Structure 1
Amino acid sequence: TEQASHSLLALLEQQDADPEALQHELQEAQRLGVADAVTSRAEQALFRIKAAAALEAALARSQVHELQEAIEMAYAAGVDFDLVDDAEDRKEKILKREREEAEEVERKRREKKEAEYEELYQRSVKEEGDLARHLQRRLAAAARLLAAQGLREGRQRGPLRAR
């Protein structure tokens, strides 16, 4: 058990210890029943390594909800502040970009609706003009017809008045 504890401690003292090797040594120490400050440190180190890896993976995928979860886990694990700060900045940039994209989509939708309404208005104005011209032609034709009818009636009455 002392051998497992020393082996684990040696791994912990390495700057960039392999997480898999650390995991393996920790499991071996736990299997042998070692439960001391070294195994506790190893567990914390593994948690920190996993939190940092999750944070980096979330940064790569740029998913806001994933980033938020990874940030919270990294804070809890005590991951390097610069990495967490970078993740917070990235999350804010993503949120800002998503807001801007949503505003752009809304603006385009609004412009499209306005263009459709304008087109409908112009079409109705044209149709009203067409209808007004049609009615004017019909009225003019009716007036000519009435005038022609009046002239005929006048000619027919004309000789009667002379009598």
Structure 2
Amino acid sequence: MSEELPPSDSAGREAVDEVRATDADAWATACAEDLAAEKARRRADYGPPPGSAAEELRKFVDTVADRLSGLQSPLFGAVAGPAAQQVVKQVVQQAKAAVEPVIERNPDVFDHLAAAGNELLAAYRSAVEAQERRWTTGGSDPRDLDEGRPDKGDEPGPGERIDLD
């Protein structure tokens, strides 16, 4: 017999390995389906997710350009209206031409600037909340307390004697 059959034990192992591979694929497939369904649900609830900061800046520039190009101003008058509108369109196009290469070359810079802006906003918010807390609770700033100072002056009142010697 030139054809040898594998022992029954190895056939069982191959079947178990095949089932495990199928199970792993089924798990990955189920996870991917769940993730896609969750993303679709969030997109339906909240709209499309925001893009990168560079994409958002590009959208902003396009929106501002469209608004300025369509602006009809009574200040220009009937005679100067079309000429002034043409000048506005030209300036908008030049501004877009100047901004677009910067966005294309440095998209990560805008992400970093957005992150830095968020950090500054968080720091400002923290400072404002701390000050509001002091105002609302009636507490005072520890730096304003005069108890640690040895010489408050001889006069009563809020003033302080300053020694100029």
Q: Which of the five TM-score ranges fits, normalised by the shorter chain?
A: under 0.3
Q: Which structure has more helix as a fraction of its residues?
A: 1
TM-score, normalised with respect to structure 1: 0.25
Rg larger for: 1
